[in-house]
Structure 1
């Protein structure tokens, strides 16, 4: 059965990854995830939301927004590829990039910290599958999508 990938699907994937692999990472602010534009090179990103969120007690807080390329809505893209990109963005959040958490590094990819962190969190197989599929299939996939939009 093919499950439709929409923003709700992304939210569930994010929640599952957080629960299984990032349970030690506190979430001091609201984190949203959504599909963005079709992007061939920027598969995911995390940034601060433009509008602060107002809570019931009147306090305001900035929201972190993870955006995933719209190409990943296609069920032809393996789940591990999508999960790998989401986990990559979660590592940035954990390291204090576009999040209220303390920033651990000067640069977000310093010394391969993202891949090291993914492996340490038990996501080495997902990372390997993601990199392999992207290397072997991504360029051809993009060629087939050029005229399908």
Structure 2
């Protein structure tokens, strides 16, 4: 049986379309491929965005901002020395872009000018760290991308 060029083109197009359809169905239905948003409450976070911008401006206006250093116990988050540690309230949120199940949040409750994030919670790779804190009724926000 001889196949002419027109039949060959039709067979190639049908094969390509079948392959693409197979990929779309597999990616949509397979549970091993997750399609997570950065946050589940996307629109609510969008409405709070101006507050974040103002808090970041407050943090940048400080003479001394937060310092993140890696120590053998984990990550050390140093707050400005001018702040009284017991008056600092807030949270440290670590977001893992590759796996939302590794995300975690630590409330800020310190007696010294630093907070220690334990190493056992940190898996090697990229992390987005957000430190939001309140001191004397003023909001502050610090964001940093880390590779641990």
Q: What is the TM-score normalised by the length of structure 1?
A: 0.25
Task: Please identify which structure carries the higher strand content.
Answer: 2
Task: Please identify which structure carries the higher helix content.
Answer: 1
Q: What is the TM-score normalised by the length of structure 2?
A: 0.26
